[in-house]
Amino acid sequence: MSLRALELAAFASFTLAVCLPASAQQPGKLPHIGYLSPGAGYPFDSFREGLRDLGYVDGTNIVIERRSAEGDPDRLRELAVELVELHVDIIVTATTAATQAAQHATATIPIVFALADNPTRLGLVTSLAKPGGNITGLTGLMVELTGKRLELLKEAVPGVRRVGVLFSAYPFSTAAMKETNEAGTRLGLQLDIIEVGQPSELGPAFAQLSKRKAQALLVLPHPDFVAHRTQLVQLAAKHRLPAIYHLKEFVEVGGLMSYSPNVAHMSRRAANYVDKILKGAKPGELAVEQPTEFEFAVNLKSAKELRLVLPEALLLRANNVVR
């Protein structure tokens, strides 16, 4: 080989080493990351941006296999199995249910949850500090924030005494209901709790709330509610119920308020776990993170349509205002 050819080969090797993260410097197969979510409404783009910030570009030095249940949680298990059969290197999950589906599908492929509640209680990890096994990630405290949502709702609707609560069976339903009832008692609120088994039951549920003369509404976390958020928000408006939700995506389609961890930030943080695992870290040794940023969203247009004047002190605390 000529001297010039050797110089070009050396330069090419140097360029490849600089451009690719250490974990992706192996010849042949690029790292494959599976991403599993129940459907729309979960910030996949934020996760991809987090990877890009760390030097990973989909299709260049990493491959992302994205799978969505399209609003049908029953499909999560088959999609998780599909990712396992593709021999992905890591599975990233967007919710608790997606994480459980992935856990059922594999005990060896690392799993990173971008948002999961009660991971220790549900047996996803041994402890937050030392997860053990093949699973780690970020917990969302969605259940623990239920009381805060009721506080905000009471502050937004002066004189409210009767609050409707919509819930659907979910891995942490029992914990969520316990937290909700305790918060209602503490705040002096009478709660009308209605279970919604499937989306077709939303209309009848709101009719029930009207008969019971509910003055406001709390919607507990569930993938079905996220998938059908526009219908849910429209029903709340039709029945003139000021409502608070667990994700800002509800507020973006006309819901009055939401309070949650900054889910987009958590999705970006999930990319850090992927980076560490690709570089050799074991998921069982990576501590589970708890949220440090929270998001209080308010829709002023919806408040006006409800003829609701939100207190100035409440609006000053909102860090996401839809006008």
Q: Where are the domains of the chain?
A: 3-139+263-293, 146-261+295-322
pLDDT of residue 41: 67
- 63-113: pLDDT as tens digits: 999 999 987 888 999 999 999 999 999 999 998 889 999 999 999 999 999
What is the average pLDDT across 281-304? 96
Phi, psi of 244 (to 5 degrees): -125, 140
Encoding tokens for residue 150? Answer: 């009721």
Q: Which residue has the higher pLDDT, 136 or 199?
A: 136
Whether 200 shows a pLDDT value over 80: the answer reads yes
Asked if the model's pLDDT at residue 4 lies above 60, the reply is: no
Name the nearest CA neighbour of 148 among 85, 218, 64: 218
Query: To which H or E segment does residue 265 belong?
Result: helix 263-278
The DSSP-derived string for 81-112 is: HHHHHTT-SEEEESSHHHHHHHHHH-SSS-EE
Place of tokens 């999930």: 270
Q: What is the pTM of this model?
A: 0.83
Return the CATH number of 146-261+295-322, one of 3.90.190.20, 3.40.309.10, 3.20.20.70, 3.40.50.2300. 3.40.50.2300
In this predicted model, what pLDDT tens digit does every residue of 18-64 receive, in sequence order?
Answer: 344 433 344 568 999 999 998 876 789 999 999 999 999 999 999 99
Same fold, 3-139+263-293 and 146-261+295-322: yes
Q: Please provide the average confidence, as pLDDT, over all residues in the chain.
A: 89
Is the pLDDT at 1 greater than 80? The verdict is: no
What's residue 16's pLDDT? 41
The pLDDT of 6-11, averaged and rounded, is 43
Q: Count CB neighbours of 186 within 10 A.
A: 11
CA-to-CA distance for 183 and 30, rounded, in angstroms? 49
> How far is C-alpha 120 from the chain's CA centre?
17
**Mean per-residue pLDDT for 160-179?**
86
Fold of 3-139+263-293: Rossmann fold (3.40.50)
Contacts 24+ apart (CB under 8 A), 228-231: 228/71, 228/199, 228/202, 229/41, 229/253, 229/255, 230/254, 231/199, 231/202
Checking if the pLDDT of 143 tops 90, the result is no
